[in-house]
């Protein structure tokens, strides 16, 4: 059943809840640190959106831009495990895509672990295609693998 909260820009005031969601999604050695998330949220050339119900943040997405580039990257997309399967991830991705379109982005790129089936399925459903297999892409093992797929979607 669809359980829709509001999607809005994330701000510094969301940082604590973003870290909580990040830590619930990933074991400690895989999760972004506070410092990394703060950088992505407040200093990087990025757009960050959060899905929120009654001030409770249930998911977020971070898009990274490069100067004068028409390709942008999904840096991370995380939904609180308590709220998986409610359409939050796909709605966050749609919100990010709308913003990227406004920024004149033509292509979205991301890397995803080859064993992260929920994420791969979500990206496929959203129209992404796998364009490369990247052996040992990640520095740290997760369930015995460091490999990634690169996925791409053209924005029209």
By CB under 6 A, tell whether 37 contacts ligand COA: no
Find the shortest distance in angstroms from Cβ 95 to ligand COA.
Answer: 12
Residue entry with tokens 């895989």: 30
Q: Say whether residue 40 binds ligand COA (CB under 6 A).
A: no
Question: Applying CB under 6 A, which part among 11-19, 33-41, 76-84, 99-107 lies near ligand COA?
Answer: 76-84
DSSP string for 32-74: PPHHHHHHHHHTSSEEEEEEEETTEEEEEEEEE--TT-SEEEE
49-84 as b/e: b if 16+ CB within 10 A? bbbbeeeebbbbbbbbbeeeeeebbbbbbbbbeebe
User: Closer CB to ligand COA, residue 86 or residue 153?
Assistant: 86
Closest of 88, 11, 7 to residue 50, by C-alpha: 7
State the minimum distance, in angstroms, from the CB of residue 27 to ligand COA: 11
Which 2-21 positions form the footprint of ligand COA (CB under 6 A)? none
The yes or no reply on residue 125 touching ligand COA (CB under 6 A) is yes
CB atoms within 10 A of CB 98: 12
- When binding is defined by CB under 6 A, the residue of 16, 39, 45, 85 that contacts ligand COA is 85
Residue ranges binding ligand COA (CB under 6 A) = 25, 76-79, 84-90, 112, 116-119, 121-122, 125
């Amino acid at each position: 059943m669809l359980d829709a909260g509001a999607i809005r820009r994330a701000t510094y005031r969301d940082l604590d809840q973003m870290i909580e969601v990040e830590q619930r999604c990933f074991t400690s050695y895989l999760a972004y640190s506070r410092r990394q998330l703060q950088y992505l949220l407040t200093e990087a050339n990025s757009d960050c959106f959060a899905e929120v119900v009654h001030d409770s943040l249930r998911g977020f997405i971070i898009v990274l831009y490069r100067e004068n580039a028409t390709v942008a990257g999904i840096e991370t997309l995380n939904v609180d495990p308590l709220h998986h399967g409610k359409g939050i991830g796909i709605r966050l991705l749609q919100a990010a895509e709308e913003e990227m379109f406004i920024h004149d982005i033509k292509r979205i790129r991301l890397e995803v672990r080859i064993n992260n089936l929920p994420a791969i399925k979500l990206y496929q459903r959203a129209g992404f295609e796998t364009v490369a297999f990247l052996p040992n892409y990640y520095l740290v093992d997760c369930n015995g693998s460091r490999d990634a797929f690169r996925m791409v979607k053209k924005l029209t």
